[in-house]
Amino acid sequence: MALLVGSVLVDTLLSHGRLDELTNMRIPNPNGPEIRAYVARPSAPGPHPTVIMIHEFWGLKPEILGKADALAQEGYIVVAPDLFRGITTSWIPRAIFNVISNPPAQVDGDLDAVYRWAASQPDVQADRIALMGFCFGGGTSIRYAVTNPSVAATVVFYGTPVTDPERLKGLGGPVLGIFGGADASIPIGIVNAFQDGLKAAGVLHQITVYDSQPHAFVEAIRRGGAPGQAWDEFVYFLEQTLKRASNGSSLPGYVRRIALDCVVPGKPEDALHVVNHLHAWLPNR
């Protein structure tokens, strides 16, 4: 035990300088110390739809920056905050300690500061800010989004989801969930409960399970296969929810219910297609 504690302390000391190389922005935080973040912007002038990208339990790492840069090339501002207040690691025991030592209330408070900062930026479309994350970040995204109905869309990459329909009714936009069929961390029963909860709450959603894929399978997004397909599905979802004239949240409740009921299993893109067609059709009727 002493060796483990000592190793964690050493890793903590070594990690403090890492964020200097990984971040390019300091965000004011009324809930605590300022938040370090990496911000990637498109080359074209704004304002742009924006995505807050939340890291895994490792903390902010170069892999997240690479995904942020890739998404910026698609026309989005991407804000990738450090929600572990200076700690990043490649060591599993330290990563677990990251989660334990940064309680949800603190993380959500910091994330709220990031969201409000992003919404105040002149090159950000304040009504088109989405949250997404991987692993720890996926669970954090949905947990925060149910408390902030201004979030335009939420994406969960294999994170522990909120399944209570009453809490999910707090969502203000559609949800994409991407999971691995062989993920021992997020059993298929939890995924099904998430989907059932979203439908019961009347939230537009698409849930995709990639067969035989383990936890954290979306790493090398440019190599094709399941990781590339999942990333492409994510980008398509953003196009439908952030770049279209409406994400469906302004539709009457009964129309949203029609869209949910029309989804064909195995075709997760259909829900948003239905919404877009209905939204174009209704004003003329």
Q: Would you state the structure tokens that stand for residue 15, as one six-digit string?
A: 């990690």
Indicate whether 144 belongs to any domain.
Answer: yes
pLDDT, tens only, 170-207 = 999 999 999 999 999 999 999 999 999 999 999 999 99
Indicate whether 222 belongs to any domain.
Answer: yes
Backbone angles phi, psi at 35, to 5 degrees: -105, 125
- Strand blocks (E) in 137-188: 153-157, 175-180
Backbone angles phi, psi at 255, to 5 degrees: -70, -40
Indicate whether 251 belongs to any domain.
Answer: no
pLDDT value of residue 7: 52
Distance between alpha carbon 101 and the CA centroid of its chain, in Å?
21
Indicate whether 196 belongs to any domain.
Answer: yes
Q: Which residues contact residue 282 at a Cβ distance below 8 angstroms, ignoring those fewer than 6 apart?
A: 251, 255
Bridge partners (DSSP) listed for residue 35? 27
- Residues noted as catalytic: 135, 183, 215
Residues 149 and 171: beta-carbon distance below 8 Å: yes
Query: Which residue, 129, 158, 169, 133, is CA-closest to 48?
Result: 129
Indicate whether 73 belongs to any domain.
Answer: yes
Indicate whether 156 belongs to any domain.
Answer: yes
Helix, strand, or coil (residue 274):
helix
Residues 93 and 7: beta-carbon distance below 8 Å: yes
**CA R_g for the chain:** 19
Number of domains in the chain: 1
Q: Would you state the structure tokens that stand for residue 133, as one six-digit string?
A: 């994350």
84 vs 81: CA distance, rounded Å: 9
pLDDT, tens only, 25-55 = 999 999 899 999 999 999 999 899 999 999 9
Q: Which residues of the chain have pLDDT under 70?
A: 1-17, 245-285
Indicate whether 178 belongs to any domain.
Answer: yes
Indicate whether 272 belongs to any domain.
Answer: no
What is the domain extent for residue 172? 2-246
* Domain containing residue 172: CATH number: 3.40.50.1820
User: What secondary structure, in 3-state letters, does 109-146 show?
Assistant: HHHHHHHHHHHCCCCEEEEEEEEEEECHHHHHHHHHHC
For the beta carbon of residue 37, count every other beta carbon within 10 angstroms.
Answer: 25
pLDDT value of residue 231: 97
Give residue 86's region: left, alpha or beta (phi > 0; psi -120 to 50).
Answer: left
pTM for the predicted model, two decimal places: 0.85
102 vs 17: CA distance, rounded Å: 19
